[in-house]
Amino acid sequence: MLNRRLVKNLLGELPLTAEIYWRLVQGDRPVARSFSLRRTKKNLPAWRLQAQQALALHLPDQPAPKRLLLFATLRYWIEHAALLSVTLSGLGHKVTLGYLPYPSFDRPLTQFDLRRNAAYARSVLSAAAPLLEPLSFLDVGRTAPAALPAALAQAVHEVSVRDTQYTLQIEQVDTEDLHSPSGRLFNLRQKRNLQAAAAMLNWYGALAPELRPQALLVPNGSILELGAVFQTARYLGLPAVTYEFGEQRGRIWLARDSEVMLQETDDLWEAHRNTPLNESQWEQIRALYVSRQNGRLWENFARLWQGLPSQGGAQVRAELGLDQRPIVLLAANVIGDSLTLGRQVFSRDMTEWLQRSVQFFAGHPEVQLVVRIHPGERYLKGPSVAQVVKAALPELPPHIRLIEATAPVNTYDLVEIAALGLVYTTTVGMEMAMSGLPAIVGGRTHYRAKGFTLDPATWQENFALIERLLSAPHEHRLKNQQVELAWNYAYRFFFEYPCPFPWHLLDFWNELDEWSVERVLARQGREAFGATFEYLIGEPRPYLQPVEAL
């Protein structure tokens, strides 16, 4: 008797079988709830009408039209991309919405079901015609993985490794053993990512030069098919903008020709590092810092990592039984977090940085090492930093303390009593500097080398720095100028790096009540978000332009 999956795989290779089956049996309905675009189907005609009405107004500040490719995969990104695509069309741009109709990034799907999903998505998105051209990346031909150029194939391989690391929250991936969890997942991700890159190459190469897009817009750009398509654009020399959403509602992160999760702020800092904060800016960043310190949400920030308010340094010292020896605070990231993967400077990865750091301090009982596991670990299922530390030191010496993610300890109280901070990429390193605490940064993070942290390039330099600072800890507190620099940078990062944007990925269906497509495309919306939409299509932000152009 034939296996059901085998039958679907066979039918999936026959032309039109999946599409006809979907039309006759599904009757224009989704194949499964995991890939239902029902809300998009309901709202898309109204979005299209509002965009068409905006186009008819011919406003004098209408931007120069561009040909754009917006690519997305997974239901939620496709739904958000449909809204963004129609809005960009309402600004006068010619938008192609490329998509791959996967309901999940880590589960196999038969070709038959994938093609049915593609037919369903095409039917839904076609309601935006003629403003929007939907393009299934399943329909633009296939290239065998071996046919990809070597440089692109290597870039896609790295994306697939990162997919596996991020999904399983691990740092070491076995790409060969298909019986291991990481090997199986890597094989799935590699196959899909190679196919996405090949589809992008085929589609772009088949277009006449005058019809090719002038820019690619893609969410994230570091993982999944999103990363594979971004890397293909970079290989082709096609300008690419990646975007992502952080903890702030009403804001979007943007990067041009770079992965947005790298959070590259060099140009922003170069433009503003010598500009002191005014009183209003100081009030904003102080209020945000105090709210983070006391475990409270603040304004449009939606994430809360501290489980309790600050209790004060003296109390936490007493509760942990810490004596008067100098305290070194090692603030860890979550293993496999997107802000740690690929951020190594002198270590193999964050795991090695953790292991060698605690092993170093095992031989220095004259100081106390406090390893603070990131409170965010309690929300995730991957391996814990505690396991890494205990693998490196099965018997923790009494001068090394491990603070679990769920422990009722406020990280800012630990910062208060520390003589030195060690971080990989966590934002706590920036906040250490804001408190005057010298912080040694082991990974490539956005605030590294901005003038207020210590940034070793080798293991030797790293350990020499630690020994030098601990030889006279009270003499190495940051100078006032460095502390002010850290506060200045924190303000730029939290309030100027993110751009105003009406629809956060996690809540855009509700946010449409306040910011409809019609309102965003009207005068009020253009004043609020017009600059952001220009950055989205590849135009430079003001601080990236030559001074004479401002």
Taking only the tens place, the pLDDT of each residue in 260-315 is 999 999 999 999 999 999 999 999 999 988 888 775 544 454 444 444 556 777 88
pLDDT of residue 59: 65
Does the residue 472 lie in any domain? yes
Dihedral sign of CA atoms 388, 394, 396, 402 in order: positive
Q: Which residues 6+ apart lie within 8 Å of 25 measured at CB?
A: none
pLDDT digits (tens, 9 = 90+) for 508-520: 999 999 999 999 9
Does the residue 13 lie in any domain? no
* pLDDT(159) > 80: yes
Q: Tell which residue, 216, 102, 97, 233, has the closest CA to residue 156.
A: 233
Does the residue 356 lie in any domain? yes
pLDDT digits (tens, 9 = 90+) for 309-323: 567 778 889 888 999
pLDDT band at 205 (very low <50, low <70, confident <90, very high): very high
CA distance 57 to 315: 64
Does the residue 105 lie in any domain? no
On average, the pLDDT of the chain sits at: 89
pLDDT of residue 60: 63
pLDDT of residue 298: 43
- List the domain range (segments joined by +) for residue 368: 276-496
pLDDT of residue 523: 92
pLDDT of residue 96: 97
pLDDT of residue 359: 97
pLDDT of residue 375: 83
pLDDT of residue 32: 86
* pLDDT(26) > 80: no
Determine the average pLDDT of the residues in 47-76.
89
Q: Which residues 6+ apart lie within 8 Å of 348 measured at CB?
A: none
Q: What's the CATH number where 318 sits? A: 3.40.50.2000
Does the residue 22 lie in any domain? no
Does the residue 388 lie in any domain? yes
> Rg of the chain over CA atoms, in angstroms?
25
Q: Which residues 6+ apart lie within 8 Å of 367 measured at CB?
A: 325, 326, 327, 328, 361, 399, 419, 470
Q: pTM score, two decimals?
A: 0.90
Q: Which amino acid is at 100?
A: L
Q: Could you give the number of structural domains in the chain?
A: 1
Does the residue 197 lie in any domain? no
pLDDT digits (tens, 9 = 90+) for 64-115: 899 999 999 999 999 999 999 999 999 999 999 999 999 999 999 988 899 8
Give me the residues paired with residue 375 across strands: none
pLDDT digits (tens, 9 = 90+) for 433-468: 999 999 999 999 999 999 999 999 999 999 999 999
Q: Output DSSP code: residue 226.
A: H
Does the residue 70 lie in any domain? no
